[in-house]
Amino acid sequence: MSQPSLTDNYRGVFDTRLGFGSNPALLVIDFVIAYTTPGAPFFGQGVVDAVDASVALIAKARETGVPVLYTVVEYHPSGIDGGLFFKKVPSLKLFVRGEPLGAIDPKIAPHPEDIVVAKQYPSPFFGTSLASTLRAMGVDSIVLLGCSTSGCVRAAAVDGIQNGFRVIVPRECVGDRHDAPHEAALFDINAKYGDVVARAEVLDWFSRLNARAA
């Protein structure tokens, strides 16, 4: 017995769009130079491309007053705060506090007013104050930029909707080390946890919010 196509299998079950909210925040996830430096263990050209695509969107967020928050991975030199995750992925030692490859890519560096959340696990919500901070800001929607799509971005999408936020992922602005997990994660996020959209849609949304506020 042949299986239905992927599209047919998900149609009517996992194909609802939540849409945009009214008070977004931009969350830039782990865009650090470990992913954008050729030869580094985590390097991925898809991440380099996503950083480049994110420059204009971050600038638009600042222009329209949308809060911009960042996450980085940061460990104690012992790695004990990373638990079994640190043991499962030994290359995470690159993110021990003070290691140069753990720094945010300078193309999209934070501004002094931006919040930078340090985390030890894939989800930026796990063990951090992120959800409380977003609620204090009155945020109802999070726009996820960053890497990797199949890891920390997907984890952010899952925990984002579980914490009551609309999740928006501009597909050009997330990246991975390989196209296969990248595309699989985007499909999964769009089916179950948020809306995967073109960057142009998010730029237009921010412009409309700005016009309404003016």
The mean pLDDT value for 179-192 works out to 96
Q: What is the pLDDT of residues 90-124, one digit of tens each?
A: 999 999 999 999 999 999 999 999 999 999 999 99
Tell me: pLDDT of 74 over 90.
Answer: yes
Q: Which pLDDT does position 7 carry in this prediction?
A: 72
Q: Running DSSP on this structure, what letter comes out for residue 152?
A: I
pLDDT at residue 13, rounded to an integer: 64
Residues paired with residue 26 on neighbouring β-strands, in sequence order? 68, 143
Instruction: Considering only residues 70 and 2, tell me which one the structure prediction assigns the higher pLDDT.
Output: 70
Q: What is the pLDDT of residue 214?
A: 63
**What is the structure's pLDDT at 153?**
98
Higher-confidence residue of 186 and 14: namely 186
Question: In whole angstroms, what is the distance from residue 142 CA to residue 165 CA?
Answer: 6
Grouping H, G, I as helix, E, B as strand and the rest as coil, residue 94 is helix
Phi, psi angle pair for 16, to nearest 5°? -90, 135
Q: In the chain, pLDDT over 90 holds for what percent of residues?
A: 89
Phi/psi at 83 (5° precision): 55, -140
Where b means 16+ CB within 10 Å and e means fewer, 137-146 reads eebbbbbbbb
Cα 131 from chain centroid (whole Å):
14
Cα→Cα distances 97→72, 102, 119, Å: 10, 8, 11
Average pLDDT across the chain, whole number: 94
Cβ-count burial of 92 within 10 angstroms (0-12 exposed, 13-18 middle, 19+ buried)? buried
- The answer, yes or no, to whether residue 82 has pLDDT greater than 70, is yes
Long-range contacts of 91-100 (CB under 8 A, 24+ apart): 91/41, 91/42, 94/34, 94/40, 94/41, 94/42, 95/32, 95/34, 100/33
Mean pLDDT confidence for 137-160: 98
Residue 150, both tokens: 């199949």
Q: Is 152 noted as a catalytic residue in this protein?
A: yes
Q: Give residue 57's pLDDT band: very low, low, confident or very high (50, 70, 90).
A: very high
With bands split at pLDDT 50, 70 and 90, how would you rate the model's confidence at 6?
A: low
pLDDT value, residue 211? 74
At residue 12, the pLDDT reads 63
pLDDT of 154 above 80:
yes
CA–CA–CA angle 85, 189, 208 (5° rounding) = 120
CATH topology (fold) of 23-213: Rossmann fold (3.40.50)
Q: Which of 28, 34, 152, 158 does the annotation list as catalytic?
A: 152
